[in-house]
Amino acid sequence: MSSSYGLVRFLVVILLLQFAGMAQQNPAVHEAGSHNIPTQIPGRDAILMGAAWYPEQWPESRWEEDLRLMEAANLKVVRIAEFAWSRMEPSEGHYDFDWLERAIALAAKHHIISVLGTPTAAPPAWLTQKYPETLRVEENGQRVTHGNRAHGSVTSPKYRELCRKIAEQMAIRFGHNPNVVGWQIDNEYGYALMSYDDLSRKLFQDWLKDKYKTLDDLNTHWTTEYWSEKYDDWQEIPIPVGGHNPGLMLEWKRFVTLEWDDYQRNQIDVIRQYAEPRQFITGNLMGFFDGFDHYVITKPLTFASWDDYVGSGHVDPDRNGLTHDLTRGFKRENFWVMETQPGAVNWHAVNSFLNRGEARAMAWQAIAHGADDVNYWQWRSALNGQEEYHGTLVGPDGTPVPFYDEVKQTAQEFSKAENAFRGTTVMSQVALLYSYDSHWAIQSQRHTRNYDDIALLESYYRDLRKLSQSLDVISPYAPLETYKLVVAPSLNVLPQDLAEHLLEYVRNGGHLVLGPRSGMKDQFNGLLPQRQPGFLVDALGGRVEQYYALEKNLPISGTWGSGEVSTWAEQIKVNAPDAEILMTYGKSNGWLDGQPAVVTHPFGKGRITYIGAVLDDKHMTTAVEWMVKTSGVTAAFGPVPDGVEVSRRVGAGKQVYILINYSGENRQVAFPHSMKMLLQNKEGASADLPPYGVEVLVDSK
């Protein structure tokens, strides 16, 4: 990587940030389309904290006290109404929004803004009774009954019509309400559950017909000569329920994605028609949930948000940080944490409580990774209903539980530090590529049950994040030119257009690192008629001769030292004279003995590296050290002690660093130079952090 490339990138970033800074002072520039931060609400704190509140579950006489307690805890956001359909439309076509309007107004009186959820994850009993086709059919052919949630059928036209109507009525009523800042569509997209009925099947078949045009084309791409899978009529094509043709399975996932996208657009369009443009529209996603392609789903949203739950045990800062970065990468924008757990959930194997201070660390980690809002789910448990045991901020008696004070402290800190975060976002030199097509392709044919592509992504993340201290997780199709290093741990589906995109990046000076199983499949989930990495073989100057699922670990040695690989090993053959073998297998199954495991090759102005095995932790560390050094990646902050996470957010003329101590012990962190510590309110060149300790540093140099 040339140093001039780094300099150009740096200058571009600075210019962009200067422009963003100007935009903040000058609304005209804003309107001219400069990069604003859509997650930050004009006229409000740049970072916010809130809770899910269900006024419909309580007598109106109680609301004031709830809101008073929220205000006292410095909460500034409520998300409301996402399960209140039966209250808002008690019978078909009869709407009652007066109570909601009063709740929003009362919240505003306590300086709390409202996000309205459309209630479509919980259609009322009158609706499903009158129109039984709106209820989902499960894989076993049974129609679900009323009384849970996510029971609507995403493909039912009647259901769509009724969803649109309630969203429309809400938008007409609240689209201009100054205290409503935005919308959440549905709730967790009904977990992307599909209805396995005749209509869904017909829609899937029609969609395939539209996509492939001819059955010949479909049969060719899915190689249906295999096992007599050949289709002579579109109506013969089934909904896959497992164990089906890989082409069919991947297309079903894409169809599911588009159905949910269509489902949300049905509501988004009508909200946009009536709501002021200042009101955002988001959807609450679920991290690595893989029911649909999140890059597609988040396209029509103003920004992405997600529900950050630990479940049993304690927060794993790498996994949680990775999931924040994944969410930020959906739209390559800041995001919101729409829900997070107030201590404990009620749905895990052991619903253990977070340690004291842990939730505060989690909340700050969200901000550190680009969130501008963190909301607790939920304010108070309904006295009956499926979630009686879930964590809350107030108890069944309506008074604060011990956890309330931790939220209050964190929310006060948010207010204290908010100005530093205004106009800031995360900017990284390194990107990890995550593709739903590749994930689904591997999931449908794992070859070894031990190959977990998300765990592998995480193992790359751990060391890359530690060394670079700032990392993006993005779609392989995202623009790559600003990155010094791009790593694709399992880019299994790698069609020609994607290969071209990656090659362009490498030709212009980027360093692309591919992990095992990369470049094996086309867009139909079929094998490419080349060896791995498919269209990148020439650029790599080598190819995969054979892959092996491993029963036990294998020795490996070379530039990154000696150690072991597990799970998966690929035997690579080098063709180009200037391709360099970095690692070689030791004695193993005979086939792999002495064969290349890792190869790197200069290409254009850049470099392409292929790692054909799952590295052990020690090797991952040395491999990442090599990648970072070879690509000229620099750390965002500088050395920090083990167990301390440092993150950076960048804005016009300022850099904000967030330090979080996850080590369980006291840690002292030395800064590169003196900075302002916002939480301790002093200037200095080092900070002492107790376990779960947090500090926010502003560097205006």
Instruction: Name which of 82 and 251 has its Cβ closer to ligand GLA.
Output: 82
x-or-dash string of contact with ligand GLA, 666-695, rule CB under 6 A: ------------------------------
Lay out the site mask for ligand GLA across 463-502 (x = CB under 6 A, - = otherwise): ----------------------------------------
**At 511, which amino acid appears?**
H
CB of 121 to ligand GLA, least distance (A): 8
Question: By C-beta, is 309 or 626 nearer to ligand GLA?
Answer: 309
User: Strands of 667-677's sheet, edge to edge?
Assistant: 644-651, 654-661, 694-699, 667-677, 682-689
x/- site string to ligand GLA, residues 183 to 212, per CB under 6 A? ----xx------------------------
* Strand blocks (E) in 63-107: 77-80
For ligand GLA, the closer of residues 120 and 523 by Cβ is 120
SS3 524: coil
Task: Measure the CA angle with vertex 390, ends 385 and 392; round to 5°.
Answer: 110
- The secondary structure element, H or E, covering residue 431 is strand 430-433
- 287 versus 651: smaller Cβ distance to ligand GLA: 287
Q: What is the DSSP letter of 188?
A: G
Give residues 377-396 in contact with ligand GLA (rule: CB under 6 A): 377, 387, 390
- Of the residues 69, 194, 337, 345, which one makes contact with ligand GLA according to CB under 6 A: 345
Based on CB atoms, which residue is closest to ligand GLA, 131 or 309?
309
> Residue 45 or residue 66: which is nearer to ligand GLA going by CB?
66
Taking the complex as a whole, the smallest distance from the CB of residue 351 to ligand GLA amounts, in Å, to 10
Dihedral angle sign, alpha carbons of residues 437, 439, 442, 443: negative
For residues 655 and 649, the answer to whether their CB atoms sit within 8 Å is yes
The CB-of-406 to ligand GLA minimum distance in angstroms stands at 18
- The total of other beta-carbon atoms located within 10 Å of residue 62's CB is 13
Residues 508-547, mask of contacts with ligand GLA (x by CB under 6 A): ----------------------------------------
- Helix intervals (H) in 632-697: none
Contact 114, 107 (CB under 8 A): yes
Q: Give the active site residue among 89, 333, 339, 580.
A: 339
Ranges within 50-69 binding ligand GLA (CB under 6 A): none
What is the per-residue binding string for ligand GLA in 543-582, x denoting contact by CB under 6 A? Answer: ----------------------------------------
Residue 173 has a CB neighbour count (10 Å cut-off) of 18
Query: Per CB under 6 A, which of residues 386..445 are in contact with ligand GLA?
Result: 387, 390
* Cβ partners under 8 Å of residue 560, min gap 6: 582, 583, 598, 619, 622, 623, 626
How far, in Å, CA of 471 to CA of 452, rounded? 21
Distance, CA of 535 to CA of 496 (rounded, Å): 6
What is the rounded CA–CA span in Å between residue 391 and residue 2?
52
- The nearer residue to ligand GLA, 174 or 189, going by C-beta atoms, is 189
Tell me how far apart the alpha carbons of residues 508 and 505 are, in angstroms, rounded to a whole number. Answer: 5
Identify which of residues 343 and 476 has a Cβ nearer to ligand GLA in the complex.
343
Compute the least distance from the CB of residue 309 to ligand GLA, in Å.
6
Nearest partner of 477 among 461, 457, 456, 495, judged by Cα: 495
Backbone dihedral angles phi then psi of residue 375, each to the nearest 5 degrees: -115, 135
Question: Measured in Å, how far apart are the chain's first and last C-alpha atoms?
Answer: 27
Among residues 88 and 467, whose Cβ is nearest to ligand GLA?
A: 88
Least Cβ distance, residue 270 to ligand GLA (angstroms): 23
Closest distance of CB 291 from ligand GLA, Å: 14
Encode 350-393 in three state secondary structure. CCCCCCCCHHHHHHHHHHHCCEEEEEECCCECCCCCCCCCCCCC
DSSP string, 454-495: HHHHHHHHHHHHHHHS-EEEE-TTS--TT-SEEEETT--B--
Nearby residues of 300 by Cβ (< 8 Å), 6 or more positions away: 261, 264, 265, 268, 281
Q: Taking CB under 6 A as the rule, which mask of x and - marks residues 23-52 in contact with ligand GLA?
A: ------------------------------
The contact pattern for ligand GLA, residues 294-313, with x = CB under 6 A and - = no contact, is -------------x-x----
Which single residue brings its beta carbon nearest to ligand GLA? 307
Q: In angstroms, what is the minimal distance from the CB of 340 to ligand GLA? A: 9
- Identity of the residue, 54 or 63, whose beta carbon is nearer to ligand GLA in the bound complex: 54
- Torsions phi, psi of 655, nearest 5? -130, 130
339 is catalytic: yes
With contact defined as beta carbons under 8 Å apart, do 675 and 698 qualify? Answer: yes
Q: Which of the following is catalytic: 82, 89, 168, 188?
A: 188
Query: Can residue 339 be called a binding residue for ligand GLA (CB under 6 A)?
Result: yes
Examine the residue annotation and report whether 139 is marked as an active-site residue of this protein.
Answer: no
- In whole angstroms, how close is the CB of 263 to ligand GLA at the nearest point? 17
Separation between Cα atoms, residue 153 and residue 135, nearest integer Å: 5
150 to 189: interface string for ligand GLA, x by CB under 6 A: -------------------------------------xx-
Distance in Å, CB of 345 to ligand GLA, minimum: 4
Q: According to DSSP H, which parts of 225-311 are helical? A: 246-274, 294-297
Of 308 and 325, nearer to ligand GLA (C-beta) is 308
Q: Which is nearer to ligand GLA, 190 or 370 (CB)?
A: 190
Judged by CB under 6 A, how many residues of this single chain contact ligand GLA? 10
Q: Say which residues have a Cβ less than 8 Å from residue 162's Cβ, sequence separation at least 6.
A: 123, 127, 131, 134
* Kind of pairing between the strands at 430-433 and 485-488: parallel
Examine residue 288 and tell whether it contacts ligand GLA (CB under 6 A).
Answer: no
CB of 330 to ligand GLA, least distance (A): 17
Residue 693 CB coordination number (10 Å): 22
Cβ-based nearer residue to ligand GLA, 86 or 482: 86
The 352-381 contact track toward ligand GLA, x by CB under 6 A, reads -------------------------x----
Residue 118 gets which letter from DSSP?
P
Q: Whole-angstrom Cα distance, residue 239 to residue 626?
A: 46
Task: Tell me the closest approach of the beta carbon of residue 653 to ligand GLA, in angstroms.
Answer: 38
CA distance 533 to 515: 10
Shortest separation between residue 193's beta carbon and ligand GLA, angstroms: 14
Closest contact distance (angstroms) between CB of 51 and ligand GLA is 12
What the block records as the tokens of 435 is 């593709």
- Residue recorded with tokens 């004695």: 587
Stretch that binds ligand GLA, among 193-201, 250-258, 339-347, 596-604 (CB under 6 A): 339-347
State the Cα–Cα distance between residues 154 and 445, nearest whole angstrom: 28
Q: Which residues are catalytic?
A: 188, 339
**What is the binding site for ligand GLA (CB under 6 A)?**
187-188, 307, 309, 339, 345, 347, 377, 387, 390
